[in-house]
Structure 1
Amino acid sequence: MTLPVTRQATIASLALAIATPSIAQTTAIDAVIVTATRTPQKASEVISDTVTITSDEIARAGVGSVTELLQRQRGLEVTRNGGPGTNSTVFIRGANSNQNIVLVDGVRIGSSTSGAANWSAIPLSAIDRIEIVYGPLSTLYGADAIGGVIQIFTKKGKGEPALTAFVGAGSDSTREADAAISGSTGKVSYALSAGKERSDGFSATRPGNFSYNGDEDGYDRKSAAGQFTVQLAPGHEAGALFLYSSTEADTDAGAGSYNAHSVQDQNNVAVFSRHQLLPGWSMQLQASQSRDKGGNFSNATPAGASQINTKQTTYNWQNDIQLGGDTLQLLAEHRKEEVVSNTAGLTRDRKTSSYAATYNMKRGAHLLAFGARNDDSSQYGSKGTGSAGYGYRFSSALRFNASFGTSFRAPTFNELYYPGFGQPGNKPEKGRNAEAGLQYNDGKTQLGAVYYRNKLSDLLVSTTPCPLPGFQFGCAYNVNKATLEGVSLSAQHQLGDFALSATADFQDPKDDTTGKQLARRAKRHGNLAVEYGTGPLRGGLEWQVSSARFDNAGNTARLGGYGQVNLFATWQFDRDWSALVRWNNVADKQYELARYYNNAGSSVFAGLRYGMK
């Protein structure tokens, strides 16, 4: 018998409460969060539900991709069509990949045709930290922030010049190398990094897939990133940043002996300035451009290539005004999306102008936040969103949070214009989310429990038969409603030399129109980690678990549940040198995240890191 989500959560809450003496905390109480309010804010004063993945955690993880790192976090699920170089989807609290926003240093990335970010093109070597904010953030970031926002921050320069380098190799002939230099001299700070990864991989598909081929499907990725900042005068600075990544991955979609492959490029550039105009008034300006280029080459002739390129150009003007202990934020934004494709009808553009205001208050033990935004698009018209949040500190360690927010997702260019499928009249999806939670953090022990309920309407789905004439194989249409409901639990604790942590998510992502479970989303998933560290040695174990999911909307193609155990260790054998080793999927568990697509079996990766300051 399947328990209702609320009863499951009650049982899990009791289990975590009993386990509290042996579960560990790693996030500082006053860590600074940027994404939740678009400005640096102490974690103890942030009402939104957040997680930060630090640079130390990324270095120790030894994982092969950003999605492997995200898969370890609560509230997140990942699907992949094969190995690290292939297409991936990240769900936040059951929200689809096109219902979430991904930012790199404030620059929105993603394809305007699919609505999703290209995770395979983001290099781990360039990342300083990752912030995850759960829940609707359309009042801050506009369209598509229904389930949450993931922001990746690349490395910045400060202090004396520092050089780091890494080289590693592992199973499937995987090899990786990267190097970075950063620092500051006088009024100039800088950070530059470059990396290269290559793997022979494994077969992306399994028997049963229409394009099954048992050969190895490897990938080749090269990347570079950089930031430069100049202090113009006290309180005034300007800078520029860039990110370049190109991934070529083999696929099982070719004809005959041709090596079918995909090419995914991600290119970001931005210029910015920050100004302290008055003691209580700061202003930020940023102009950015993000290019997502994708091509699938299924045979050796040009006719076999499908290419879609997205360019997003964005201008931001942000003002943060301190009013005593309160903060008023005023924002203006203009974004232009352009698609160029060799698919007839997809070469289009649309423009969106946005204005927003938020107000954050502190009154003793009370925290209050309000926000409103209007997005005016040349394609879907005007959309207004709003949010309100409340937090109450029972003590310096224990706090209650509650919030309500509206959000929307803009139709993708595929849903609007793809030949034989898109409908130019499709409307944005709408979301209404309410949540409440408790957080405990005394600097050694951290506990969290959040209940959320996100009601979606005008859900865009592939409908067969299409209610409009002329669509023989169905069309994209606003027909469904959905509910994303669940409880997300977390616990961490430092017990001597042991750091222990656990997460558990109990959710019910349901299509209300059909009563079916939303595809590729489990009702239960979680993580358990035990890490031991003394002196120069650290080592640990991770256990990732998930219940069964379905690969299709009709819930007829079942994907079984799974559990995977990973081991990792690091050794700081010199002041500037360290080594790491990671053994993933120790038991060689065979499982599917997508129907008839493989995941890596038991695999080992080892590396050597140098860091000079």
Structure 2
Amino acid sequence: MKYLPFSIALAAVPGIAFAQTQPDTASQANIVVTGAGLPLPPGSPAYGSVVIDRDRLINGASGRIENILGDVAGFQQFRRSDSRSANPSAQGATLRALGGNASSRTLVLLDGVPMADPFFGYIPFSALVPDRLSVVRVTRGGGVGAFGAGAVAGTIELASATRDQLPSFAASAFYGSKDATELAAALTPDLGGGYVSLSGRRDRGDGFMTTPRDQRVAATVPAAYDGWSGDLRAVAPLSATSELQFRATVFHDDRTLRFRGADSMSEGQDASIRYIARGAWQVDALAYIQARNFSNIVISSNAPYRQSLDQRNTPSTGIGGKIELRPPVGPDHVLRIGTDTRFATGDMYEDAYDAGDPANPITARRHAGGDQITTGFFAEDDWTIGSLILTGGVRADYWRISGGFYRQVGANGVVTVNDDFDNRSDWQFSGRAGALFRVSETLAVRAAGYTGFRLPTLNELYRPFTVFPVRTEANAALTPEKLKGVEAGVDFTPLPGLTLAATAFYNRLDDAIANVTDPANPNLRQRRNVDAVIAKGVELTASGHIGDFLLSASYAYSRSKVRAPGRGFDGLRPAQSPRHAASATLAWQPAQGPALSTTLRYVSKQYEDDLQTDVLPHALTVDAVASLPLGHGITLVARGENLFDEEVVTRNAGGSMDLGTPRTLWIGFKFAG
């Protein structure tokens, strides 16, 4: 199984089930450690989620979570590159073609912890290893529950693999095109009544040429990458119905982009602790801390290609937590009440250089940063009335942006810019409601409406950046984005083993943050709030199996436009927003023996900029994975990415282009024992 409409797949996914207010008292005599969170409320399918199961997660052609998420049509990053050749700060996640933005409009959670970088808002995809996961649930549309502030385009929930999915020891080794290697290992011993899982992964490669052949110069080099991550997860029982979960993750990622010396680095150290109680009063309490950093060297695109900027240090810290309670209010209701908070602080240190001077002297030193905090209170209830489930929730969030500043010192030590920005705070209220009606065992209809909001990140507020030849200015006056949306859908099982789902949606993102081109200078943009981005469309999913064959598919049609009266981009499609996106996988997976799968993905043309002057052409790629068990827990695996070597344009700024992953082949072994 690859992915299914959520209302149909729910019961089949490990660690996910409909909530029961009262636990099974007969099972309380034995302590059972799951390592999972609380079960999902019964009204969750009303919001039309899609589930990607573990089989699919561990059988992707690239071995990278961001590419597997592409199975859900409508998922996109700011650019079409993955975490081998993208600038890390551009890897924000969004859904439903609400407009390109390097910050995430989608809330990404790992075991309940928000993953977005505290300063930039990007997702460290290279640290989210698919082999460590049990399931991914993607919900498009505004969110209200814990950490719901920030889920304006949807929520991506990643859950760690459970004990029954983890062998005592597992390892894999792959060798690929461009002298690439991928090494991973995991050790999961039982410890007392619980378990510990220690895993690590290392990826490196000489990389491919992201620059088209006719644009290469002497300084052009492949997009080399070298990264590693380590993860320690421990789960311990406290009683027959409660457990403690601990996670620590460290990662480091080095990449080179386009020119020799254009090196970027991202790293992080995350830790979280979570208490789960499954008794009459169910509890999910969580606390986390994140320490992240980023650096980036920009090389001038003009000969002799010297350093023009050194973003040498961007330390940031995120601290947060939540408490969710589910009191026993009767068998027909699942009530969730709670509070959560997120605090982010970060600084940017960078040095500008004169690339035209052979001495390459420093011309300016810059320092910017600030703090922000969001504290929310939420309540949500799911009410089951026979075949009808009603669900509704509200959030009240207090937010504050403070301590913002921007300093610039010239080469002579004289302060040329010294800005301190006003502190701001406010309350924001949001809510959602949905209904799911099971017409029969094979048919369910659903409808939902929601609102949501997202604060501008510290990066959007205070950090300018340049991607030659375009410079984009920050904007400390940005206001939060606010979403309103409605949708309706149907889940249908016409035949055993065949599931179909369709969702029609309308979303309006008011005060959307966009990179707006200066009418007097096409190479100058600024982050601004535009009146609105309106996205409406249809999402289709299908999954079926006949014997040993599985077919699954996803398609999204999104008709998006910007509403900005009096501006040159009024009525145009938002930047980085394709109208069509599709994915389909055909797999042959017998219970034993060899297996084969192939995945086709299509994305239609989109535009680099708000004025639709620079086109990113459509792209159609084909991936494949083949595996052959050799016995004794060893499996031979061959993987192929972009088998027909389709040219995928990921950036086009005035004709200066970057390309995505070309044909890439892998061969390797997996061991589980």
TM-score by length of 1: 0.87
Q: Which amino acid aligns with 1:548?
A: K
- Measured in 1, the distance between the counterparts of 2:243 and 2:255 equals 40
Q: State the match for 1:560 in structure 2.
A: 617
Q: State the match for 1:597 in structure 2.
A: 658
Check the 8 A contact 2:61/2:641 in 1, yes or no. Answer: no
- Label 1:556 to 1:144 Cα distance change in 2 as closer, same or farther (>3 A): same
Q: Aligned-pair RMSD on alpha carbons?
A: 3.0
- Measured in 2, the distance between the counterparts of 1:328 and 1:422 equals 42
Q: State the match for 1:462 in structure 2.
A: 515
Q: State the match for 1:261 in structure 2.
A: 263
- Measured in 2, the distance between the counterparts of 1:170 and 1:495 equals 33
Q: Which amino acid aligns with 1:100?
A: T
Q: Which moved more, 1:37-46 or 1:403-412?
A: 37-46
- Measured in 2, the distance between the counterparts of 1:450 and 1:586 equals 32
Q: State the match for 1:94 in structure 2.
A: 97
- Measured in 2, the distance between the counterparts of 1:606 and 1:402 equals 46
- Label 1:416 to 1:465 Cα distance change in 2 as closer, same or farther (>3 A): same
* Aligned pairs (5 A) from 1:202-601: 202-206=208-212, 213-254=219-260, 259-276=261-278, 279-298=279-298, 304-323=310-329, 324-343=331-350, 344=366, 346-379=368-401, 380-418=425-463, 421-441=473-493, 444-465=497-518, 475-513=526-564, 514-534=570-590, 535-595=592-652, 596-601=657-662
Q: Which amino acid aligns with 2:64?
A: S
- Label 1:45 to 1:160 Cα distance change in 2 as closer, same or farther (>3 A): closer
Shift of residue 169 of structure 1? 0.8
Q: State the match for 1:169 in structure 2.
A: 175
Shift of residue 600 of structure 1? 2.1
Partner secondary structure for residue 631 of structure 2 = coil
- Measured in 2, the distance between the counterparts of 1:401 and 1:211 equals 55
Shift of residue 578 of structure 1? 1.2
Q: Does 2:52 correspond to 1:30?
A: no
Q: Which moved more, 1:186-195 or 1:79-88?
A: 79-88
Partner secondary structure for residue 400 of structure 1 = strand
- Measured in 1, the distance between the counterparts of 2:608 and 2:165 equals 50
Q: State the match for 1:12 in structure 2.
A: none
- Label 1:406 to 1:109 Cα distance change in 2 as closer, same or farther (>3 A): same
- Measured in 2, the distance between the counterparts of 1:591 and 1:161 equals 38
Check the 8 A contact 2:61/2:624 in 1, yes or no. Answer: no
Partner secondary structure for residue 141 of structure 1 = coil
Q: Which amino acid aligns with 1:454?
A: N
- Measured in 2, the distance between the counterparts of 1:208 and 1:384 equals 52
- Label 1:217 to 1:43 Cα distance change in 2 as closer, same or farther (>3 A): farther
Q: Which moved more, 1:568-577 or 1:287-296?
A: 568-577
Shift of residue 428 of structure 1? 0.7
Q: Give CA-to-partner distance per residue, 1:506-542, whole Å, 9 cap, x none.
A: 1112112211111122111112221123331111222
Q: Give CA-to-partner distance per residue, 1:464-501, whole Å, 9 cap, x none.
A: 5599xxxx955433233111111000111112222112
Shift of residue 134 of structure 1? 1.3
Q: Which moved more, 1:348-357 or 1:31-40?
A: 31-40
Check the 8 A contact 2:297/2:312 in 1, yes or no. Answer: yes
Structure 2 unaligned runs (5+)?
A: 20-36, 300-305, 351-365, 402-424, 465-471, 565-569
Shift of residue 60 of structure 1? 2.0
- Label 1:225 to 1:387 Cα distance change in 2 as closer, same or farther (>3 A): same
Q: Which amino acid aligns with 2:505?
A: Y
Count of aligned residue pairs for this structure pair: 580
- Measured in 2, the distance between the counterparts of 1:30 and 1:171 equals 40
Partner secondary structure for residue 156 of structure 2 = strand
Shift of residue 225 of structure 1? 0.7
- Measured in 1, the distance between the counterparts of 2:426 and 2:65 equals 35
- Measured in 1, the distance between the counterparts of 2:216 and 2:338 equals 49
Check the 8 A contact 1:82/1:598 in 2, yes or no. Answer: no
Check the 8 A contact 2:119/2:345 in 1, yes or no. Answer: no
Shift of residue 307 of structure 1? 2.4
- Measured in 2, the distance between the counterparts of 1:36 and 1:292 equals 36
Q: Which moved more, 1:243-252 or 1:342-351?
A: 342-351
Q: Does 2:119 correspond to 1:126?
A: no
Shift of residue 68 of structure 1? 1.5
- Measured in 2, the distance between the counterparts of 1:302 and 1:400 equals 56
Q: Give CA-to-partner distance per residue, 1:59-116, whole Å, 9 cap, x none.
A: 2223242221112222223424576242334331113552111122211122344332
Shift of residue 454 of structure 1? 0.4
Check the 8 A contact 1:486/1:508 in 2, yes or no. Answer: yes
Shift of residue 210 of structure 1? 10
Partner secondary structure for residue 224 of structure 2 = strand
Q: Does 2:131 correspond to 1:74?
A: no
Check the 8 A contact 1:193/1:224 in 2, yes or no. Answer: yes
- Label 1:213 to 1:72 Cα distance change in 2 as closer, same or farther (>3 A): farther
Structure 1 unaligned runs (5+)?
A: 1-22
Q: Which moved more, 1:326-335 or 1:229-238?
A: 229-238
Check the 8 A contact 1:160/1:184 in 2, yes or no. Answer: no
Q: Give CA-to-partner distance per residue, 1:295-318, whole Å, 9 cap, x none.
A: 113479997243222211002111
Check the 8 A contact 2:378/2:395 in 1, yes or no. Answer: yes
Q: Give CA-to-partner distance per residue, 1:439-458, whole Å, 9 cap, x none.
A: 12466111010011101111
- Measured in 2, the distance between the counterparts of 1:486 and 1:391 equals 20
